[in-house]
Amino acid sequence: MRLKRIDSINVLPFIDIMLVLLAIVLTTATFIAQGAIKVALPEAKTTQAQSPSQGQKRVEIAIDENGEFFLDKEAVNFYTLLMRLDSMDRADMIIIRADKESRFSQFIKLVDALKERKLENVSIATIKTE
């Protein structure tokens, strides 16, 4: 009996498995990133996706429906938030996720604090409507 010599390896099944795993990881990562703080975002027709450029730090500030502030998923009072804003770089990308039921005065208070510190690379998260 003669053994057949194998000169190559078929990598197509391996590539298929890796693509399925990649799709699962990307889907799961999206749910994890969005689900940490319950914020019902307002709707807008002109929503655009933005991502930080290379070397730019992304900072997320959330305001829940009760007017509580969160800095990168950590609950903070407004005074602590101000102290952390003081240490931020002007190039940092700041994303504001304000609940549509939160008091508008909390949003204005945050925007005013950002302007005082000349932190102007700010985006407001919304849900795109059709």
Cα separation, 48 vs 92, in Å, equals: 18
Query: Taking 60 as the threshold, does the pLDDT of residue 34 lie above it?
Result: no
Query: Taking 80 as the threshold, does the pLDDT of residue 47 lie above it?
Result: no
Cα separation, 75 vs 37, in Å, equals: 10
Alpha helices in 87-124 (DSSP H): 104-116
Question: What's the whole-number average pLDDT of the chain?
Answer: 82
Q: How high is the pLDDT of residue 14?
A: 86
At 106, list the tokens.
């909390």
The predicted model scores a pTM of 0.62
- C-alpha dihedral (105, 109, 110, 111), degrees to nearest 10: 100
Question: Residue with structure tokens 């975002």?
Answer: 41
Q: Domains of the chain by range and CATH?
A: 43-128 (3.30.420.270)
pLDDT digits (tens, 9 = 90+) for 57-112: 888 999 988 889 999 888 899 999 999 999 988 888 898 988 888 888 999 999 99
